[in-house]
Amino acid sequence: MYTAQTMQEIDRKNFASKFGAFLKKFKISARSAAAAIGCSEATMNRLLRKEVHHLLKKPSLPTDEMLKQAGAMMAIGYIRYSKLSKAEKRKISESIGGLAGGVIGLGSITSVIAGLGSVAGLSAAGISSGLAAMGGLVGSGMAAGVAVAAVIPVAVGAVGVGVGVGINQVWRQTSLNSTNFDSYWEMVEA
């Protein structure tokens, strides 16, 4: 979504200016970007402002993982990126691999994302055989398997999903509001 002309490559030194310009252009707050990536708002602000670490007396710089995720957001756009699951973001990161000298180019990001396509799922044959096996549990075939499969999330999910969503939301807000230095997303040069 961000043009190749604007972002030929992003690295530790130009992260604040390149990613900051992207956020400004599309009117995305640091908090929203942090929430989509999965880091704290404080981490994002330190990186965008090149804040000096109070103990190490050196500026906070993005890790390779931050460069990959910010680059992916810039390549596909904030809205599409924010809808990716953690597994899809992890798959993008793994597919990009290691960064040579902490530099990532738009071409490598877009080719990785294009090559991934959608998240793979079960084939129609696999789903049918699974439903037939579930139906066999109650002495019938695939049609009964559909009924059995439909009852499971209703019975278990009514409580489980509500609790899981609540816990996940509290955890995400706590993580987003953390002010701690997070070495997964930020680093200082030695």
pTM: 0.66
SS3 string of 49-106?
HCCECCCCCCECEECHHHHHHHHHHHHHCHHHHHCCCHHHHHHHHHHHCCCHHHEEEH
> What single-letter DSSP state applies at residue 7?
-
Q: Identify the domain containing residue 176 by its residue range.
A: 1-190
pLDDT tens-digit series, residues 115-166: 666 433 334 554 455 545 545 555 556 555 455 445 444 444 444 544 444 4
Query: How many whole angstroms separate alpha carbon 35 and alpha carbon 84?
Result: 12
pLDDT tens-digit series, residues 69-89: 999 999 999 999 999 999 999
Supply angle C-alpha 98, 103, 109, rounded to 5.
Answer: 70
Query: How many whole angstroms separate alpha carbon 2 and alpha carbon 106?
Result: 9
pLDDT of residue 109: 72
Query: How many whole angstroms separate alpha carbon 90 and alpha carbon 65?
Result: 9
pLDDT tens-digit series, residues 4-57: 444 578 999 999 999 999 999 999 999 999 999 999 999 999 999 998 877 778
pLDDT tens-digit series, residues 94-123: 988 887 767 777 666 766 776 666 433 334
Rounded to the nearest 5 percent, the helix, strand and coil shares of the chain are 65, 5, 30
Count the domains in the chain: 1
The residue-averaged pLDDT of 59-75 equals 94
Which of 54-68, 136-150, 170-184 has the highest average model confidence (pLDDT)? 54-68
The residue-averaged pLDDT of 62-72 equals 94
